[in-house]
Amino acid sequence: MLLAGCAAIPSSGPTGAQVRSQVIDDIGNLPMKLVELRDFADLPASALPAPVFAENYTPPAPTELVGPGDVLEIALYETGVTLFGGAAGSVVAAAPSGIDPTVRSQRFPPFRVSDTGTINFPFVGEVAVNGQTTDQIEVLLRRLLRGKSQNPQVLVAISEGLTNSVIIGGDVRNPGRLVLPTNQESLSDVIALAGGNTGEIKDILVRIQREGTLGQFRMSDILAQPEQDIRIFPADRILLVRAPQSFSVLGAAGRSNQIAFPGPSLSLAEAVALAGGSNPNAGDPRAIFVFRILEGQDGVEVPTVFHLNMTEASSYILAQRFAMSDKDVLYVGNAEANQPTKLVQILSQLFYPLVTLERVLNGNN
């Protein structure tokens, strides 16, 4: 009767034996895989995530080509009879011989390329510049100004290249549109050009949207693994968000809680320590479980349960090599030996008031 009553005693969860039997017998119709951690071969492989973006991706036009939305800076240098420059723009004084070798310069306000790919240049009118380099635009303007200005020299530069830019936002110091100087920048280069991140590196998740495809990278992985520091192309949209990694603690641990990773990575040994270890009054150190959803080779999710017996000395070495993942569930099973003890405690709480009352009555008599 005493043992039968143990089944109804409140507890913080199943025992280690109950967890193992439920996983093996597939109770609940959720196929789960049980992995017993006994040596290094049983540890989960820390495989790199599959590439998100296609390797044969064709980027937009290269850096030197002008397109709609670009902002151009144009400077004009003239000698002799000038069309634009005045005395204030002279860079060489006139000679006393009567010959005027004076060079006058004129810097125009910025020209933004229209949606149709043109700019409106004084005394020339609309000029088609879409798809041309700055050198080609200089030659074109020089030819159009011939007959209107004496030996004009034109310099053209792109001050804001929308066709060679990205949008970056979130936890960076200078969010907004960013021009790629060389069109060869990596993800870490772009973040640095935007002033760097403002939050802690371990908590930052970088999201990249490229032509309908979304990729996610942890900032700590980008800095630690060169293969994660991918190249950025024009028109990419980059967002840095604060997304701390965490794991949940359940069962008969020292404390049940959701705990954030204190650093970029976390081992199982560190996770157990943060959870307060196994509760000495209720927990079973032989029943340490980590619940995780893995992705199989065919892309199907596989619920997996890792079991570690921390009464064995080798388990502490394995726990140092076991890497926790974001959203893992750490469960400490209830000790089977504690169930009769809990029943005795409940019975004591029930009968203690009666015993106390009897003593009071006997004392009054």
Tokens of 326: 């974001």
Rounded Cα distance between 80 and 72, Å, is 26
Q: What is the pLDDT of residues 243-278, one digit of tens each?
A: 999 999 999 998 899 999 999 999 999 999 999 999
Contact of 79 with 146, CB cutoff 8 Å: no
pLDDT at 226 over 80: yes
Residue 351 φ then ψ, to 5°: -95, -15
Listed residue (101, 109, 103) closest to 85, CA to CA: 103
Percentage of the residues of the chain whose pLDDT score is greater than 90: 50
Lowest mean pLDDT among 21-25, 60-64, 67-71, 219-223: 60-64
Catalogue all structural domains in the chain, each as residue range(s) with its CATH number.
Answer: 2-49+245-340 (3.10.560.10), 71-160 (3.30.1950.10), 164-242 (3.10.560.10)
Q: Is 365 helix (H, G, I), strand (E, B) or coil?
A: coil
Tell me the β-bridge partners of 170: 240
For residue 296, the model assigns a pLDDT of 77
Q: In sequence order, what E strands does 30-152 have?
A: 33-36, 71-79, 103-107, 111-112, 118-121, 125-128
- Please tell me whether the overall predicted TM-score, pTM, comes out greater than 0.75 for this model: no
Average pLDDT over residues 350-359: 62
Distances in Å between the Cα of 94 and the Cα atoms of 90, 106, 183 are 9, 17, 44
Mean confidence (pLDDT) of the chain:
83
| 3-class secondary structure per residue, 198-264 | CCCHHHEEEEEEECCEEEEEEHHHHHHCHHHCCECCCCCEEEEEECCCEEEEEECECCCEEEECCCC
Burial (CB count within 10 angstroms: exposed 0-12, middle 13-18, buried 19+), residue 44: middle
pLDDT band, residue 201 (cuts 50/70/90): very high
Please tell me which residue, 186 or 88, carries the higher pLDDT value.
186
The per-residue pLDDT for 97 is 46
pLDDT band at residue 98 using 50, 70 and 90 as cut-offs: very low
Residue 50 has pLDDT above 90, yes or no: no
Residue 146: the pLDDT is: 87
